Amino acid sequence: MQPIRHPLSLFVGIALLAAATLTAQPKGVAVTANESARRVDVTVDGKPFTSYIYPTSLKKPTLFPIRTAKGTLITRGYPLEPRAGERVDHPHHVGLWFNHGDVNGLDFWNNSDAIPAERAPKMGTILHRKVIDAKSGVDRGELVVESEWVQADGKPLIRERTHFVFRTGANERSIERNTTLTAIEKVVFRDNKEGSLGLRVTRALEQPAEKPELLTDASGKAMKTPTLDNEGVTGSYTSSEGLKGDAVWGTRGKWTMLSGTVEAEPVTIAMLDHPSNPTYPTYWHARGYGLFSANVFGRKVFKDTEPEFTLTLEPGKSVTLRHQVLILGGPVTKETIDRAHQKFSASAISTAR
């Protein structure tokens, strides 16, 4: 005769199984390298936040895609993962990246597979070389990577070492990027509009506009539109100096934020410049069509009365550039970003644990 199991025993067994299942779920910020897939995934409590990717189809490593704490995408999908209704332009605008438009006369910013062959010799590429360190933690994860900035013939000009710090909090995410560029041979960063820390945002975070553009259809193919549909397009820039909308472009500021609504979620992305950066407070290459960029090496190109900026690194010499990107849910005030910038400005460079 089989023993009769008491209902309480069944309940306890189910409860223990459920507890074990919950315990098995990853907690905190996990940073997981997958070299065969050419990516490092960053998750928070097992849910995707972003990935550091370096596919052979791109001309630089990038963080793509990026999500809010609720999982809402804030980055444009095109050209890697096109979505219906997106603009089809600037295929080099992918995720969150760092490069510049004039280094020894080479254009690292505009390079992509769409560049005509005759322009290729004037283009530069950033090649991922290795993952130095990847650390997971309860409230932050860290990633240290090494890359090389190379010219068209493959000759390296710059060695890049970047330390990312990924943090999480209640209804917020943040990405701190500390990048050290070391000259392999003499390099000159010249005053140029195309730079430097760039982010291409999803359609909903663009500013409303009227100019017709090429958009993608449901299959990701380009389609002509006689007028631009602004339904659900809600983005608006605000700088630390109180400027708003298109007025932010080509002006200086300690930080700039972009606010809007994505899939019914209020979202604010704030990009913070650090006082140690060469042209602090930086000029903003912030466009209404969804390009959000802090230009570390641009000055006169934005304001004629400014002296031209040039940064020269002799072989073996380095420059370190620091930025923080906040991805916040809910209403956000200027005072909130001011406080965040003060905290970031006072912080030392994080070191991998």
pLDDT tens digits, residue range 58-103? Answer: 999 999 999 999 999 999 999 999 998 898 899 999 999 999 999 9
| β-strands 156-169, 172-183 pairing | antiparallel
164-173, 225-234, 294-303: range with lowest mean pLDDT: 225-234
Give, rounded to a whole angstrom, the gap between the first and last alpha carbons of the chain: 59
Q: Note whether residue 221 is domain-resident.
A: yes
Task: Indicate the residue type of 52.
Answer: Y
Q: Note whether residue 24 is domain-resident.
A: no
Average pLDDT of the segment spanning 327-342 = 95
Q: Is the confidence at residue 303, as pLDDT, over 50?
A: yes
Decide: pTM greater than 0.75: yes
Q: Note whether residue 340 is domain-resident.
A: yes
Give the pLDDT confidence score for residue 27 in this predicted structure: 87
Q: Note whether residue 37 is domain-resident.
A: no
Average pLDDT of the segment spanning 32-41 = 98
Q: Note whether residue 38 is domain-resident.
A: no
DSSP letter for each residue of 233-259: ---EEEETTS-BGGGGTT-B-SEEEEE
DSSP run (H or E) holding 42: strand 39-44
DSSP run (H or E) holding 337: helix 334-346
Give the pLDDT confidence score for residue 331 in this predicted structure: 83
Q: Note whether residue 218 is domain-resident.
A: yes
Q: Which domain holds residue 259?
A: 47-346
What residues are paired with 155 via a beta bridge?
A: none
How many domains would you assign to the chain? 1
Q: Note whether residue 36 is domain-resident.
A: no
pLDDT band at 231 (very low <50, low <70, confident <90, very high): confident
DSSP assignment, residue 315?
T
Give the pLDDT confidence score for residue 330 in this predicted structure: 83
CA 42, CA 166: separation in Å to the nearest integer?
8
Q: Note whether residue 12 is domain-resident.
A: no
> Which one has a higher pLDDT value, 13 or 62?
62
